Homo-oligomer: A and B are copies of this chain.
Amino acid sequence: MPLLVTGSIGIDTVKTTFGVSENCLGGSAVYFSYAASFFSPVRFVGVIGPDCPFELAKIFEGKDVDLAGLEVRENSKTFRWSGTYHDDMDNRTTDYLELNVLAEAPPKVPEQFSDSNFIFLANTAPKLQLELLEQIKEPVFVAADTMNCWIENNLAHLKLLLKRINCLILNEDEARLLACEKNLIKAGKSIIGMGPKYVLIKKGQAGSLLYSADGEMFILPAYPVENVMDPTGAGDSFAGGFMGYLAQKRTTDSKSLKEAIAYGTVTASFTIEGFSLNGLSSITKNDIDSRFDELKKMTSF
């Protein structure tokens, strides 16, 4: 089933203990699309300025990513972000953030994309996520990401969004903040009460948790990586593997959701082994399948 993503394209500068990657390609829609394309065709919706030095058509060459939703907006500038990771590789400091084109009107969903069924609304203002979703005629499974600033400053719109989506994907601190609850299980339950049937909580190196409205819980550790070079894009690659697998299987039953989380987990494990898209662009679907099997073996008893 057609999978659509709306999200950012960024010019990133990232510092980790392994080095610095200056002005490299980043952004949620980029990581998501590359990860999801191992499983399913992807429809890409995002906006850049004429200053963007990356040729996305070339980046996604050979991948089934439809860039009809990529807008180059005149008189605007591409989103820029710079961050420095702490030694634990889970926490980071933002050095600078230039929203630029992301602070303007969102891109339009092209007419030929409006019949998409699987939708991922990457992190942006909840009001924009709602507007983007309204352009989809028959959504089947909608997942959205969010972050602290929207929880703190746009809670009303976020709560409207939560009633319209099937799955909220967010990290553990965001889940605690949204639920006003320190215990993560209680937080998960509380967010389910706000609307979505599923809450998928990302815990970095500690893995992820899925809570379902029917009370089922699924817990998976992260795939163990020895050389974490750059965690940027891990969460969006996780979401890409997760949604890509579901779109490929055309179902969201309990078994498929668990497998999708495992595929998201191992896809993200490749992302963090290199800067920018280097970790993902050097692998094949076979590599992903091998780690999926390994993760299954490492967690079974």
A residues lining the B interface (CB < 8 Å): 87-88, 182-186, 203, 205-207, 209, 217-221, 224-228, 255, 258-259, 261-262, 296, 298-301
Bound-state CA distance A282–B223 (Å) is: 36
Given contacts A205-B206, A218-B301, 14 further A-B contacts (CB under 8 A): A87-B182, A184-B224, A185-B226, A203-B206, A206-B207, A217-B224, A219-B298, A219-B299, A220-B221, A255-B301, A259-B301, A262-B301, A296-B301, A300-B300
Bound-state CA distance A227–B184 (Å) is: 10
Q: Give the residues in chain B near A227, CB-CB below 8 Å.
A: 183
Q: Are B258 and A301 in contact (CB under 8 A)?
A: yes
Q: Are A299 and B220 in contact (CB under 8 A)?
A: yes
Least CB separation from A258: chain B residue: B301
Q: Are A298 and B218 in contact (CB under 8 A)?
A: yes
Task: Select the residue from A185, A228, A262, A298 with max chain B CB neighbours within 10 A.
Answer: A298
Q: Give the residues in chain B near A185, CB-CB below 8 Å.
A: 224-226
Shortest Cβ gap from A86 to chain B (Å): 11
